């Protein structure tokens, strides 16, 4: 690992950006310019071990030959034709994705938030006369007004109230609270693992109870797998190892390895709920991005790939458990596969994130007291060991 001290890596770009870019992100003063595999390089030439994957986006890491080749091929053809016409890459992606996910149909858009927005509209269409959505405390589903309305975190919601009405917020893991899911509910939306809410896996028994209750009252069950999808948990989607199948899945982030794409996958009545004019997306399903997504998906579904994710996920988790046992400032580790969280006790996640960055590794926070690790799915065992060693040093620093 490089050990060059950071001295305001990108003063020119940062200063110019602050003058013209809306301040919606608290960016660190680093200009990233290159990357290969699980490592990125800043404008000064300093290298970082990337355990963020662009917030679970860079599925195959940086400059992966599969992505590079697919991009080159896509650039030689049509980049955009609009959804007035058919294109083969869009159909191929829909065929492969629905088959692998056990779904019947797909709608393509550009992001996870857009996918959630589409899923909410789909639920209203599939369940006419029902206007209520049910979500859970600590959830995060996006920042458009509809998606924000089912994001049960006041810090995100309050500045933009009033939001979409008829949203019921229930405590997660409370089976008795599911009595609030009644005949007025169009859909229940839940993350199998709450990402922004602190890397909190939801027990499969509770998810099964939600599935059962939705079946009883005729509501749709929507799984938000924007962050957990496309292999991150060791299966293509988390629900495939939890024994609970939703009616609708939202997916995005890692689907095209770094290019913007989102999708809604649906089965049964939900797959046919939307008709012409009900919803749309100008750029959704374009030939270039779906070509790349097809290539990424084929790589993730290649024999042995997901097994490797499970193996490295277990190695990472074992190391995090060891850190929790060794350091007084760590309460526990939690997660599944290669979405893992380190729950802190008395330490600030922001300080640990900064300490890792100073030592050459990029990690994320998930709330004030959770450090979130989202390495590319190609991460090797030695890189996992490097990451654990850096965390050990940061947690042991005075």
Closest by Cα among 315, 124, 115, 302 to 227: 115
Q: Calculate the dihedral angle through the C-alpha atoms of 152, 154, 159, 160, rounding to the nearest 10 degrees.
A: 20
CA 293 vs. chain centroid, Å, equals 15
> Edge-to-edge strand order for the sheet containing 330-336?
330-336, 339-344, 370-373, 364-365
Q: What are all long-range contacts of 85-93, with beta carbons under 8 Å and residues at least 24 apart?
A: 87/285, 87/286, 87/287, 87/290, 88/287, 89/287, 89/288, 89/290, 89/291, 89/294, 90/285, 90/286, 90/287, 90/290, 92/290, 92/294, 93/285, 93/290, 93/293, 93/294, 93/297
CA 59 vs. chain centroid, Å, equals 11
Domains of the chain and any CATH numbers = 11-63+304-396 (3.90.1150.10), 66-300 (3.40.640.10)
**Residue 376, both tokens:** 């590319």
**Residue 325, both tokens:** 């046992």
Report angle CA 188, 264, 79 to the nearest 5 degrees: 160
- Along the 398 residues of the chain, how does pLDDT read in single tens digits? 333 334 444 579 999 999 999 999 999 999 999 999 999 999 999 999 999 999 999 999 999 999 999 999 999 999 999 999 999 999 999 999 999 999 999 999 999 999 999 999 999 999 999 999 999 999 999 999 999 999 999 999 999 999 999 999 999 999 999 999 999 999 999 999 999 999 999 999 999 999 999 999 999 999 999 999 999 999 999 999 999 999 999 999 999 999 999 999 999 999 999 999 999 999 999 999 999 999 999 999 999 999 999 999 999 999 999 999 999 999 999 999 999 999 999 999 999 999 999 999 999 999 999 999 999 999 999 999 999 999 999 999 87
Q: What are phi and psi of 105, to 5 degrees?
A: -155, 160
**Residue 333, both tokens:** 């580790």
Q: Which residues pair with 40 in a beta bridge?
A: 35, 48
Beta strands in 174-275 (DSSP E): 185-190, 193-194, 200-201, 220-224, 248-251, 262-266
Q: How deeply is 162 buried, as exposed, middle or buried, from its count of CB atoms within 10 A (0-12, 13-18, 19+)?
A: exposed
**Residue 76, both tokens:** 């030689």
In this predicted structure, what is the pLDDT of residue 10? 55
Q: How deeply is 105 buried, as exposed, middle or buried, from its count of CB atoms within 10 A (0-12, 13-18, 19+)?
A: middle
pTM: 0.95
**Residue 391, both tokens:** 């965390």
**Residue 274, both tokens:** 């939307």
């Amino acid at each position: 690992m490089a050990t060059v001290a950071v001295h305001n890596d990108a003063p020119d770009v940062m200063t110019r950006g602050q003058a013209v870019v809306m301040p919606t992100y608290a960016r660190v003063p680093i200009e990233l310019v290159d990357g290969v595999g699980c490592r990125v390089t800043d404008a000064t030439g300093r290298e970082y071990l990337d355990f963020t994957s662009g917030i679970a986006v860079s599925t195959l890491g940086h400059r992966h030959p599969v992505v590079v080749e697919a991009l080159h091929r896509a650039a030689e053809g049509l980049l955009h034709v609009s959804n007035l016409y058919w294109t083969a890459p869009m159909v191929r992606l829909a065929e492969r994705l629905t088959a692998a996910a056990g779904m019947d149909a797909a709608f393509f858009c550009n992001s996870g938030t857009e996918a959630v927005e589409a899923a909410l509209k789909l639920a209203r269409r599939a369940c006419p006369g029902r206007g209520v959505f049910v979500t859970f405390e600590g959830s995060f589903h996006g920042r458009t007004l509809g998606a924000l309305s089912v994001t049960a975190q006041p810090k995100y919601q309050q500045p933009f109230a009033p939001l979409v009405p008829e949203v019921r917020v229930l405590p997660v893991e409370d089976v008795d609270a599911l009595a609030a899911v009644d005949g007025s509910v169009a859909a229940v939306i839940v993350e199998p693992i709450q990402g922004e809410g602190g890397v909190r896996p939801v027990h499969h028994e509770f998810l099964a109870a939600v599935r059962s209750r939705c079946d009883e009252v005729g509501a749709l069950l929507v799984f938000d797998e924007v962050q957990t999808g496309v292999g991150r948990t060791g299966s293509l989607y988390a629900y495939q190892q939890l024994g609970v199948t939703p009616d609708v899945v939202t997916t995005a982030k890692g689907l095209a390895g770094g290019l913007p794409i989102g999708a809604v996958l649906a089965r049964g009545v939900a797959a046919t709920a939307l008709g012409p004019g009900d919803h749309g997306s100008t750029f959704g399903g374009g030939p270039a991005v779906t070509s790349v997504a097809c290539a990424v998906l084929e790589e993730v579904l290649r024999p042995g790939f997901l097994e490797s994710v499970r193996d490295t996920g277990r190695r990472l988790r074992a190391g995090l458990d060891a850190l929790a046992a060794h350091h007084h400032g760590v309460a526990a580790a939690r997660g599944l596969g290669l979405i893992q969280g380190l729950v802190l006790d008395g330490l600030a996640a922001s300080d640990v994130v900064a300490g890792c960055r100073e030592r050459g590794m990029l990690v994320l926070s998930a709330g004030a007291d959770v450090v979130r690790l989202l390495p590319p799915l190609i991460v090797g065992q030695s890189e996992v060991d490097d990451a654990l060693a850096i965390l050990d040093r940061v947690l042991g620093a005075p």
